[in-house]
């Protein structure tokens, strides 16, 4: 049985836990899961064989610390999760390659597009991908409300993202965001597509598109797989722009289904999604297929075996881990 040593960033996030669940569900490979986080009190560390406390993603020491972990542990695959680290990581991909570590992240050129919502908008427009219109502050007196305001660079979990109903409200929210993006407000249902490409990003394999029925803190707590005919239309666009950007392995795309049945794309996130656990159960265990491709399996072969359950829905609840000195336990285990 092939063995992999895998380092996962941000062990305290729902995203990291989802990836760990995917690794635990697959039975093809023996995996040694190592996690890291800026806080040593997190759930993911107790689901891995070893844990490292690391500096914040914005720290000048962040890259060096991770490289040292990869060298010490002989890491085969590093999965970054915190968007703030992506630009610096992409600049240092060769250093990971020299250690024999595959960094699951898009190129610097692609990260520069996906991390900047204005550049993402310009990319979508250039490729004829449907996307909401954006507006500029020098023309704010002519805006038609409501509009949507969010940070142009970064931004996650709906932090500093606001629906704005009037010019007075706009002035208030602009005081909270240093570099804002003003966007057309879309009435409709929000969706996230959890996607998988080949390791070089040149081949779109498949994706699970889910409606975000209810969210809290930017994370889905109720979801359902989008129906087959509409999801196929959305997939056609994702294939076009994901192969153009060469998004490698797992990534997610967000957008809206408008009330008239049309759809628009708003964001591309070059990482696993926070609700990837749902995607795994729906039939796309991306981390398993990433290991398959690292083991020499072709994307075309993987395509043939994927079966998406379009009838699946999900509700989410909190689960606890208790730490009592050296004793770590969960007394409930309802679904064992």
Span 63-120, pLDDT tens digits: 999 999 999 999 999 999 999 999 999 999 999 999 999 999 999 999 999 999 999 9
Query: Are 191 and 280 within one domain?
Result: yes
Q: Coil, strand, or helix at residue 169?
A: helix
CATH number of the domain enclosing 257: 3.30.470.20
In-domain check, residue 122: no
Query: Are 260 and 227 within one domain?
Result: yes
By residue range, what is the domain housing residue 157? 133-184
| pLDDT of 174 over the 80 cut | yes
Are residues 91 and 208 in contact, defined by beta-carbon separation less than 8 angstroms? no
The pLDDT value recorded for residue 176 is 82
Segment 217-270, tens digit of pLDDT: 788 999 999 998 999 999 999 999 999 999 999 999 999 999 999 999 999 999
Are residues 30 and 3 in contact, defined by beta-carbon separation less than 8 angstroms? yes
pTM of the model: 0.94
CATH number of the domain enclosing 175: 3.30.1490.20
Average pLDDT estimate for 15-32: 97
Cα separation, 242 vs 254, whole angstroms:
13
The pLDDT value recorded for residue 162 is 87
Residue 336 confidence class, pLDDT cut points 50, 70, 90: very low
Cα separation, 206 vs 193, whole angstroms:
10
Query: Are 244 and 277 within one domain?
Result: yes
Query: Are 177 and 202 within one domain?
Result: no
In-domain check, residue 285: yes
Higher pLDDT, 140 or 162: 162
In-domain check, residue 336: no
The pLDDT value recorded for residue 160 is 75
Query: Are 11 and 89 within one domain?
Result: yes
In-domain check, residue 40: yes
Residue with tokens 């879309």: 186
Strands (DSSP E) found in the chain: 3-8, 30-37, 50-53, 77-79, 102-103, 134-135, 147-151, 162-164, 180-184, 188-197, 204-216, 219-225, 250-258, 263-269, 313-315, 322-324, 327-329
> What total number of domains does the chain contain?
3
Cα separation, 214 vs 221, whole angstroms:
6
Query: Are 11 and 94 within one domain?
Result: yes
In-domain check, residue 158: yes
Query: Are 174 and 192 within one domain?
Result: no
């Amino acid at each position: 049985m092939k063995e992999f040593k895998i380092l996962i960033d941000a062990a305290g996030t729902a995203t990291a836990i989802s990836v760990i669940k995917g690794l635990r569900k697959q039975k093809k490979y023996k995996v040694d899961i190592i996690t890291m986080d800026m806080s040593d009190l997190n759930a993911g560390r107790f689901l891995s064989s070893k844990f490292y406390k690391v500096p914040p993603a914005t720290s000048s020491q962040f890259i060096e610390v991770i490289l040292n972990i990869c060298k010490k542990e002989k890491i085969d695959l590093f999965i970054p999760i915190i968007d703030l680290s992506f630009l610096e990581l992409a600049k240092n991909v060769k250093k990971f390659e020299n250690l024999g570590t595959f960094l699951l992240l898009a190129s610097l050129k692609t990260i520069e597009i996906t991390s900047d919502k204005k550049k993402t908008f310009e990319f979508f427009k250039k490729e004829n991908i449907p996307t909401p219109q954006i507006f500029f502050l020098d023309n704010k007196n002519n805006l038609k409300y409501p509009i949507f305001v969010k940070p142009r660079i970064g931004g996650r979990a709906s932090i500093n993202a606001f629906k704005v109903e009037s010019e007075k409200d706009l002035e208030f929210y602009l005081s909270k965001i240093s570099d804002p993006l003003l966007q057309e407000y879309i009435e409709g249902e929000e969706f996230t597509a959890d996607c998988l490409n080949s390791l070089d990003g040149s081949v779109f394999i498949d994706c699970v598109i889910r409606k975000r029925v209810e969210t809290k803190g930017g994370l889905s707590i109720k979801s359902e797989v989008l129906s087959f005919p509409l999801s196929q239309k959305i997939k056609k666009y994702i294939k076009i722009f994901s192969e153009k950007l060469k998004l490698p392995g797992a990534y997610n795309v967000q957008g809206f289904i408008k009330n008239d049945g049309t759809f628009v794309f708003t964001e591309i996130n070059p990482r696993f999604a926070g609700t990837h656990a749902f995607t795994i159960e729906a039939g796309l265990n991306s981390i398993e297929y990433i290991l398959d491709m690292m083991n020499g399996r072709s994307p075309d072969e993987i395509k043939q075996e994927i079966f998406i359950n379009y009838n699946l829905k999900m509700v989410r609840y909190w689960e606890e881990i208790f730490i009592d000195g050296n004793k770590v336990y969960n007394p409930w285990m309802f679904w064992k």
